[in-house]
Amino acid sequence: PLHLAAISGQLDVCSSLLHLRADVTATDIHGQTPLHLAAENDHSEVVKLFLKHRPELANLANVEGATCTHIAAAKGSLAVIRELLKFKQGGVTTLSNKVRGQGLGVTRSQEVVFLCAWLKM
């Protein structure tokens, strides 16, 4: 249910499900959490809600190796990227992924993320 609410951007439903202890870390068959799905569908308020509960999810990659930041950048979702950058904690950055040769086939996305971080949105 939380994955479906995240996809459709139902903030109140997501909030209620979290209050009822829905697992925000649960993944689907693609390794995507509800946060990945909210980021993919440009639901910045839902992203913010999930990150308040589990900020470390900002660094979690799906089975393809894409983090929420990669996904949001690929979709051109600046509002989601702003929220993710507020909560971003340590870990491997998209730029260092590129330098280390761990490319994800989203070079344009990595450049958008780097630019957003540089601009300190």
- Name the burial class of residue 16, with classes exposed (0-12), middle (13-18) and buried (19+) by CB atoms within 10 angstroms of its CB: middle
Delimit the domains of the chain by residue range: 2-119
Instruction: State what percent of residues in the chain have pLDDT above 70.
Output: 72
- Whether residue 53 contacts residue 93, with contact meaning beta carbons closer than 8 Å, is answered with no
Q: What is the dihedral of CA 82, 85, 87, 89, to 10 degrees?
A: 170
Topology of domain 2-119 in CATH is 1.25.40
What is the mean predicted confidence (pLDDT) over 19-37? 96
pLDDT cut 90: percent of the chain above it = 59
87 vs 109, residue with greater confidence: 87
- Angstrom distance (rounded) from CA 107 to CA 112: 9
